[in-house]
Amino acid sequence: MAERYQNYVNGTWTDATTGEVSTSTNPADLSDVVGEFQASNSADVDVAITAAHDVKESWRRTSSLARGGYLLKAASYLEANLEEYAQAVTRESGKAILESRGEVGRAIALLQYYGVEGANPVGAVVPSVNPNILLYTNRMPLGVISLITPWNFPIAIPIWKMAPALVYGNTIVLKPASATPHVATLIARMWEAVDLPEGVFNLVTGSGGAVGNELITNSKVAAISFTGSTRIGMNIAAESAKRGKRYQLEMGGKNPVIVLPDADLEQAAEITVSGAMKYSGQKCTATSRAIVVGNIIGEFTNMVVEKTNALKIGRGSDPDSIIVPVIDQASKDNIASMIARGVADGGSVLAGGGVPSGSTFDGGTFVEPTVINNVATDAYVACEEIFGPVLSILPAVDAEDALNVANSVDYGLSAGIFTRDLNSVLDFADRIEAGIVKINGETAGLEPQVPFGGMKSSSSGDREQGKAAIEFFTQSKTIYVDRSAT
């Protein structure tokens, strides 16, 4: 029988009032039930929010150095338990084990970065026109923050939100994706292990439909930080705005690379395939469109197809696997229907397009890595996020045309260009509508000490990570101290 896990509220492991549970399963083997998790409702969320609200003043008044100390202890705890956490990420999300270890490593780096941030200044002393006035700024926490997170980076994304939230003095309620609640309970266990004060971090599992509204509308919640699909994110924006709550949304992408005729084609093809196919394309920054300029398109396409066909499909627990199962059957069906729609719109499938056969794949949600060409630049498959291992190759007559194609979609998260020409690089970096720009690099694969976020429908609100996180997780206060009184 599957192990049963609880919510973590006010420093205590608790059952939901509903008395109901839901399960999560291993995408590589759907008969492997990871566990049973609390199917919470609004009342459970309210209890967690109240717990966070009750301690927000004491946490705010804890020195930021001490708050950072908890993060540094959590980093050490994760380091000591890296393998267990990485195996859990692979089992529940399907991710290749090497990438899961990298993800836990990233979570450690984030905790270390924001742990140290607890010792850094957050305000400034500013000259006043009046020499008797000490004029300075400070940064104040917001209070209780709801964190709503997706399944594709089940440890790194919650940590990159909660590390800055906590070090800057906020208390939090985390609602993880229903596909990856076990990893979230391991995050709670980490905070329990380092004796984070009760109520500062709270975990409530449950479906977005059942608990999402309370997390957004509860009057004790000051702000919402969300990562997930654009559809859900836009609804959170509307509901938050109605109530004057601060929100931060990181959403979908349709990330392009442009390949110019002077590029190192071998390098461009290698990096394009890696960006499109690793983790089966389930990264918000995955490469989804290769826009190729001029008559190199035939040679580039052949290279991409050859490299794609060589990718090993397998379970994430096999260290050689590159193409791992997608998160669930609904995602698998959606990818198949997107490919079919691409074909109906005139596209040709050059690699993949189906599901792999063989006993390794029978019990899981595997799809083949797929390359499509001949689709129009405005075809659905070339404009909408697929979140699977599917790359569209699109032609362009020159660099200007390629830039227009790259900018023609609603998303603007990450983008790359392959060229040796400095002027083309600078023009691209200036004009591409994307929050992350890679020159001769993969659209995915980012460092935690710099801002992360996109443009257009990919993001809304302040940037995450690096120094930028302080903008969302605090508010500025300006203090005038007049010392002229005798």
What pairing do the DSSP bridges indicate for beta strands 171-175 and 144-148? parallel
Residue of 14, 40, 178, 443 that binds ligand NAP (CB under 6 A): 178
- Residue closer to ligand NAP, measured from CB, 227 or 419: 227
Residue of 47, 71, 74, 148 that binds ligand NAP (CB under 6 A): 148
Round to whole Å and give the CA distance between 166 and 150: 20
- Residue closer to ligand NAP, measured from CB, 114 or 151: 151
**Does 460 interact with ligand NAP (rule: CB under 6 A)?**
no
Rg (C-alpha) for the chain, rounded Å, is 23
Q: Which stretch binds ligand NAP (CB under 6 A): 6-14, 201-209, 338-346, 360-368?
A: 201-209
**Does 457 interact with ligand NAP (rule: CB under 6 A)?**
no
Round to whole Å and give the CA distance between 446 and 319: 22
What pairing do the DSSP bridges indicate for beta strands 221-227 and 7-9? unpaired
**Does 444 interact with ligand NAP (rule: CB under 6 A)?**
no
Q: Which stretch binds ligand NAP (CB under 6 A): 9-17, 240-248, 251-259, 402-410?
A: 251-259
Instruction: Give the number of residues in contact with ligand NAP, rule: CB under 6 A.
Output: 27
Q: Which stretch binds ligand NAP (CB under 6 A): 42-50, 88-96, 142-150, 263-271?
A: 142-150
Active-site residue, from 92, 103, 214, 250:
250
**Does 247 interact with ligand NAP (rule: CB under 6 A)?**
no
Q: Which stretch binds ligand NAP (CB under 6 A): 43-51, 143-151, 266-274, 374-382?
A: 143-151
Q: Considering the complex, what minimum distance in angstroms separates the CB of residue 395 from ligand NAP? A: 26
Strand partners, 483: none
**Does 228 interact with ligand NAP (rule: CB under 6 A)?**
yes
Phi-psi region of 65 (alpha: psi -120 to 50; beta: other; left: phi over 0): alpha
Strand partners, 204: none
* Beta-carbon count within 10 A of 355 CB: 15
**Does 413 interact with ligand NAP (rule: CB under 6 A)?**
yes
CB 275 within 8 A of CB 282: no
- Residue closer to ligand NAP, measured from CB, 42 or 374: 42
Residue showing tokens 């905070």:
191
**Does 217 interact with ligand NAP (rule: CB under 6 A)?**
no
Round to whole Å and give the CA distance between 255 and 243: 33
- Residue closer to ligand NAP, measured from CB, 149 or 474: 149
Q: Considering the complex, what minimum distance in angstroms separates the CB of residue 275 from ligand NAP? A: 14
Q: Which two tokens stand for residue 229?
A: 């699909």
Q: Which two tokens stand for residue 164?
A: 């800055």
Round to whole Å and give the CA distance between 180 and 24: 7
Residue of 109, 222, 251, 382 that binds ligand NAP (CB under 6 A): 251
Sheet with 7-9, strands from edge to edge, namely: 12-14, 7-9, 201-203, 171-175, 144-148, 221-227, 246-250, 459-460
250 catalytic per annotation: yes
Strand partners, 124: 137
Task: State the first-to-last Cα distance of the chain, in angstroms, to the nearest integer.
Answer: 76
Q: Which stretch binds ligand NAP (CB under 6 A): 33-41, 79-87, 205-213, 397-405?
A: 205-213
Q: Which two tokens stand for residue 217?
A: 């509308």
Round to whole Å and give the CA distance between 218 and 124: 34
Round to whole Å and give the CA distance between 189 and 380: 43
Q: Give the footprint of ligand NAP on residues 330-389 (CB under 6 A).
A: 385, 387
Residue of 284, 291, 324, 390 that binds ligand NAP (CB under 6 A): 284
Q: Considering the complex, what minimum distance in angstroms separates the CB of residue 244 from ligand NAP? A: 18
- Residue closer to ligand NAP, measured from CB, 260 or 327: 327
Q: Which residues are catalytic?
A: 250, 284
> What are the residues binding ligand NAP (CB under 6 A)?
148-153, 175-178, 207-209, 212, 227-229, 232, 250-253, 284, 385, 387, 413, 458
